[in-house]
Structure 1
Amino acid sequence: MNPAYHSLLEYTQRMNRVLEHIDRHLDQPLELAELAELAHFSPWHFHRLFTAWVGETLGDYLRRRRLACAAYRLASHPETSILEVALDVGFNSAEAFSRAFKQHFSVTPSNWRNTEPKRWHRRLSDIRERRLRELSNPDQTHIPAFDDPDAFIHLKELTMKVTIKELPPVRVAYLRYVGPYGPDIGIFLRQTVFPWMVENGLLGRVRYGIGRDDPYVTPPEKCRYDACIEVPADFKAQAPATVITLPGGLYAITHYRGKGPDIADTWTELCRDWLPRSGMQPDSRPAFERYPVDAKYDLQTGELECEVCIPVKAL
């Protein structure tokens, strides 16, 4: 292997290890020296490498990730005070958090909390109307879904079925895609992930897809998607793959079958509609799409099936 290419793969593995650690500890102090040691670089080299690799300084990256998590919590948990949200994502005070939030999102945390659920409702209404058009008249341009009693009955029939299930921890290896969610992920899977699976003898195993970022609050070019495959205990990851353990625990699970890009609607319904009404809340474990060994995929139509899983706990 070309030495320069081998070095690049090694750096990829080290940086992914750091980003994993950051995601798990956003509510705690994260010091440069600690992260540099995790990556096996000196602090001086690590800071420069991180900026070159991620496209933003460590401080900017931490701030953006913490604010993205806070944005979701503000909208989904109106009973939680702004100070509690600030502390949960690693800020020392509500004042510092509010300044950073307004600078990033151009609105105060209070305004975001008041307006973001309305945007969620509009997105959910769009999804429901689109599905009703598919069921009734594909040429119809508008259905007054929340004014028409008959339409409302149909909407109730369209409500997703969700089960709560305990999943065991699982060891996976993953390859990471960075960029806009959408068709490019399919290209990444076909051209990069599946050849890698063949090369490593990993066909016929359960797969997972982890969207690490909320595309509604994260710049498209910074969104991360991890394509994961279950691996045995003795599997040794070679860069650019990284091995992690997906934690076990309680998950809300719904079955999805449809075109790849349309799965975003199911995520929106599960996180923005079902979860706030469920009496449960998400925790810090990653949400993912789970693709069982017998999950179907149609190369001609692009239709696939999987389980959409979000980690939950009692309020």
Structure 2
Amino acid sequence: MNYQERFHQLLNYIDSHLDEELTVDKLSNIACLSKYHFHRQFSSLVGITAFAYIKQARMKRASYQLVFKKNMRIVDIAVANGYESSEAFSRAFSQSIGQNPSQFREQPQWVSWHEKYQLFKKLRVQRMKSEKCSYLVEIVDFSEVKVATLEHLGPLELVGNTINQFINWRKENNLSPKVSRTFNIAYDDPAVTEPEKYRCDICASVKSDVKENGYGVTTKIIPAGRCAVIRHVGSDDTISESITYLYSEWLAQSEEELRDYPLFFERVSFYPDVPEIEVTTDIYLPLK
């Protein structure tokens, strides 16, 4: 492996082993680098120190665990992310995020959270882009699916609140992802849409129409039809690259024509249930 490939391997290892003690000896050995030069090499390539990267990766995961894994106690989240006590975790989380863990769990300030996370996101996505991706596109006959749907209108940064509301509805109706498929319908491109006008749907497959409820969940149909499908493995931070490939390269070469229905996703596995590099999403592009 070349120099950057070793760092890709290292970052993937860190993302997959956040529960473990990540020492200089262990990290430098995985990257096949001298421990005496490891910190300088990591900082020069990634942009921050290895321990700062690990801390931010753990804080991101802890944020998702607090909001989307309500069954996890705060003390368990603290231990899972390398803190010896909930008090130490609370101090670090408050300094990093601007809310203490209990406040963030009850009312997360997603806009400010995303602002703080932007630097980490850019470091992970833009500074380490040399990893080659191989794309496999298949054409499938998608079967009609009836879905319970909660519509999101507003900045993409606030979609976490809509997801949390939908999770609460799913729990009340015993429709966990283990028994019900999870979909997103993407009506707009967040890169070119005014934040307050951005629309997407959070969906779960159902067998019968949704009963009237206080969550605003309604029934919709994802129609049957031919689709190009590509599997994206990894963070949503890089999902736009897979989407861009579908539109800019695959579609131009395939001579296929698009159907009048928006792009949609099926969420196969979820963060933080699995490490971020293992998150799996099938992207469907409707065709005529």
Per the normalisation by structure 2, the TM-score is 0.50
In the TM superposition, residue 306 of structure 1 has moved relative to its aligned partner by 1.4
Can you list the C-alpha shifts for 1:67-95, whole angstroms capped at 9, x where unaligned? xxxxxxxxxxxxxxxxxxxxxxxxxxxxx
List aligned pairs for 1:52-131, cutoff 5 A. 130=126
Q: Is the 8 A contact 2:209 2:219 kept in 1?
A: no
> Percent of pairs identical after alignment?
28
Match of 1:267 in 2: 243
2:224 is equivalent to residue 244 of structure 1: no
Listed as ranges, the gaps of 5+ residues in structure 2 are 1-124
- CA 1:186–1:262 in structure 2 vs 1: closer, same or farther (change >3 Å)? farther
List aligned pairs for 1:27-38, cutoff 5 A. none
Residue identity in the other structure for 2:250? W
Q: Is the 8 A contact 1:286 1:311 kept in 2?
A: yes
Residue identity in the other structure for 2:204? I
Listed as ranges, the gaps of 5+ residues in structure 1 are 1-128, 136-153
Match of 2:102 in 1: none
Given candidates 150, 155, 158, the residue that maps to 1:180 is: 155
Distance 1:215 1:234 in 2: 30
Given candidates 156, 161, 170, the residue that maps to 2:136 is: 161
2:266 is equivalent to residue 290 of structure 1: yes
Distance 1:287 1:258 in 2: 19
Distance 1:178 1:275 in 2: 29
Match of 1:201 in 2: 174
Residue identity in the other structure for 2:158? D
Distance 2:236 2:166 in 1: 16
Q: Is the 8 A contact 2:210 2:218 kept in 1?
A: no
Q: Is the 8 A contact 1:237 1:243 kept in 2?
A: no
- CA 1:265–1:225 in structure 2 vs 1: closer, same or farther (change >3 Å)? same
Specify the SS of the correspondent of 2:287.
strand
- CA 1:134–1:192 in structure 2 vs 1: closer, same or farther (change >3 Å)? farther
RMSD (Å) for aligned C-alpha atoms: 2.4
Matched residues, number: 160
Per the normalisation by structure 1, the TM-score is 0.46
Residue identity in the other structure for 2:244? T
Distance 1:199 1:287 in 2: 29
Residue identity in the other structure for 2:197? K
Match of 1:83 in 2: none
In the TM superposition, residue 281 of structure 1 has moved relative to its aligned partner by 1.5
In the TM superposition, residue 197 of structure 1 has moved relative to its aligned partner by 0.7
Specify the SS of the correspondent of 1:276.
helix
Distance 1:252 1:131 in 2: 30
Specify the SS of the correspondent of 1:281.
coil
In the TM superposition, residue 234 of structure 1 has moved relative to its aligned partner by 4.9
